[in-house]
Homo-oligomer: A and B are copies of this chain.
Amino acid sequence: MIIDELIKKIDEMGNPSVIGLDTAPDYLPNYEKVRDDAKALAESTIEFNARIIDKIKDIVPAVKVQIVYYEACGLLGMTVFSETMKFAKESGMIVIADAKRNDIGATAKQYAHAFTNGDFNRDFLTVNGYLGSDGIKPFLGKEDKGIFALVKTSNPSGGELQDLRLENGLTVYEQMAKLVSGWGADCIGASGYSNVGAVVGATYPSQAKDLRKLMPHTFFLVPGYGAQGGGADGAVAGFDENGKGGIVNSSRGIICAYKQEKYKGMSFADAAYAASVDMREDLVGALKRK
């Protein structure tokens, strides 16, 4: 099971973090030089991502590649998205494509195909379960592929729908948690966790704690740490009693670390490495306190 592979890598590296390669053009140090040349911009982005991957691959188990930061640059951007995922995979990292896909059954089947073959192949894909089971089932059934379904998102307005309480006593996100847990029941690996994971934001630690009880076999992808304001203690709130069960994402905090006072004078890749080490220590510290 792919979830077991991810957990094994996290254990080996002692690092439950994933770096988000959300490489917006203006994150590139040479942006001003290449901004008006689409091809040079694409090449610079591939190189930027590749140099960061090269630097962190031995201490960070996974990358999350957010598709739209590439889609926003059109067809050339999609090439960079594809190349980045391929390079990360070849470098031995676990690859999460962050695309939050969702559709009816027949169409979800196409999405599953798109992300299981060829140019957009990945290990995990983020999905949105608003359409229910028939939109999710096409993603299941392959031991080497997993999904993370949105449950409780990290953004301020996530609660507008997700926090509302249903007549059955559950909130909408808890109900979603039950659905997600059910979808993953048939693909639980030796680790005790399922290939069907959940997105649970670092910015809502008490909800994350409750969700851990509600979905004991569901691995959490935790966005919202760092730039979005979530601290390490909040980020690991949904981890289990053994300090496992989740992986915390940071994007801008790592790939734009070179812009921070703290990492001043370092190259972008060195700064990303240093920030990754700092993040690991931060999370490990929080897990010890937990």
Chain A residues at the B interface, C-beta cutoff of 8 Å: 22, 24, 66, 68-69, 71-75, 78-79, 82, 100-105, 107, 110-111, 113-114, 117-120, 128-135, 150, 153-162, 164-168, 172, 175-176, 179, 223, 228
Knowing A100-B102, A161-B172 touch, does A71 contact B130 (C-beta < 8 A)? no
- How distant is the Cα of A107 from the Cα of B70 in the complex, in angstroms? 11
- How distant is the Cα of A135 from the Cα of B156 in the complex, in angstroms? 10
Residues of B within 8 A of A164 (CB): 166-168, 172, 175
Knowing A104-B154, A135-B157, A176-B161 touch, does A120 contact B71 (C-beta < 8 A)? yes
Q: Which residue of B lies closest to A150 (CB)?
A: B130
Residue pairs across A and B with Cβ atoms less than 8 A apart, 23 shown, are A68-B110, A68-B114, A71-B120, A72-B111, A74-B117, A74-B119, A78-B78, A100-B103, A102-B102, A104-B223, A104-B228, A105-B156, A105-B157, A128-B128, A130-B130, A132-B158, A132-B162, A133-B157, A160-B179, A164-B166, A165-B167, A166-B167, A172-B172
Q: Output the least CB separation between A223 and chain B (Å).
A: 8
Residues of B within 8 A of A128 (CB): 100, 102, 128, 130
Majority secondary structure, A binding face:
helix
Q: Which residue of B lies closest to A165 (CB)?
A: B167
Residues of B within 8 A of A79 (CB): 75
Of the candidates A110, A129, A167, A172, the one having the most CB atoms from chain B within 10 angstroms of its own CB is A110
Knowing A161-B172, A172-B161 touch, does A156 contact B134 (C-beta < 8 A)? yes
B120, A132: Cβ atoms under 8 Å? Answer: no
A134, B157: Cβ atoms under 8 Å? Answer: yes
A82, B71: Cβ atoms under 8 Å? Answer: no
A131, B157: Cβ atoms under 8 Å? Answer: yes
